[in-house]
Amino acid sequence: MEKLRVLELYSGIGGMHYALNKSGIPVQVVAAIDINTVANQIYRHNFPDTPLWNKTIEGITLDDFNALSFDMILMSPPCQPFTRLGLQGDLADPRTKSFLYILDLLPRLCRLPLYILLENVKGFECSSAREHLVKTLMECGYTFQEIMISPTSVGIPNSRLRYFLIAKISMEKISGTLPHPAESGSPEQLTVFSHSHSGTCQPGDKLQAGHVLYKLETTMDAQRKMNQNNDLTVRQIQEFLEPQTDVNMELYLLPPKTLLRYALILDIVKPTCRRSVCFTKGYGRYVEGTGSVLQCCMETEMEIVFKGLDQYSEEEKLQRLLKLKLRYFTPREVANLMGFPQSFSFPEHIRTKQQYRVLGNSLNVDVVARLLQLLVS
């Protein structure tokens, strides 16, 4: 098979590039484009031979794109205009401008790419931007599928529900086996939207998957966590942890102030768990909704620590909580849970806070690799 020429837009730290490698599809990335200087330093560190353009997409002309002569576009446009925590400005958000520029250029390319893969947050599927995307693809003659999928569907113990669109320039339907979740009742079940000429989408109610509050959680939340931990199709967290000899655990322990203030809303997992919540760019700086923390002391029962915790003085509360030895996942461990291979690394000068930030903006490599195989098969 001849190598496919791939254009990687919004390339970040190279998650799409690693997914291409993992998919086994013969490819050549002809250009990676991003304006994030920290992400670009990490990308260049890991892919020194790939042409990396540190410029705005709107600053690249139609002739520039035509000269690249690419067969595939991979892209993960800015998610802030669509995220539930953002203002949901959609097309009015200035950060959507580059994506609209791509959609404007696509029909005018001298040769349409054979394949397109796009990733974004949950919420994109009901945006005007998505309607504009679908309209453009249909006018260009693409067949496509839209999928909501979380890494738990491919056996990874991390929730990261994301929207994907895969398209090919063919009137044949995309066919193949998609990864399926273990339980059809899971809130992260894989959902395929079939496209209609109206361009509207109606996602199911079961796609809700947000941050779960520990000890302030509902019975339903507790039941869901238990079900996830009993799902033997998902691997245990301990498979993704760094060897204790490689980690100075003291650097990652939650500070006393954080323990006292946020104890009741921490999402705590053990090495034997088969679940963790989505890691965001605020992990390590903010607590609520940014990712799970790991219990390192297994001799201490979590239930005993939390039982009647509010009845104790601050000093007694802290002593009880410290027994659990709660720590943040290291950036390497977060990268492991996001499917990045062991060959992936950060340049030495990139600070831990920056590492968490760029990982939180990235995607799950294993999920994308599986979708690429489906798209090209």
Active site residues: 79
173: left (phi over 0), alpha (psi -120 to 50) or beta: beta
**Is 294 within 8 Å of 240 (Cβ atoms)?**
no
Token readout for 125 is 């599927």
Q: What are the Cα distances from residue 346, in Å, to 36, 42, 107, 356?
A: 15, 6, 38, 11
**Is 322 within 8 Å of 259 (Cβ atoms)?**
yes
- Say how far apart CA 364 and CA 359 lie, in whole Å: 10
Alpha helices in the chain (DSSP H): 15-23, 37-46, 62-68, 97-105, 128-140, 219-229, 256-262, 302-306, 314-322, 331-337, 352-360, 365-376
Backbone φ and ψ of 295, nearest 5°: -85, 120
Neighbours of 165 (CB within 10 A): 24
Q: What residue type is assigned to position 179 of the chain?
A: P
Backbone φ and ψ of 227, nearest 5°: -60, -40
90: left (phi over 0), alpha (psi -120 to 50) or beta: left
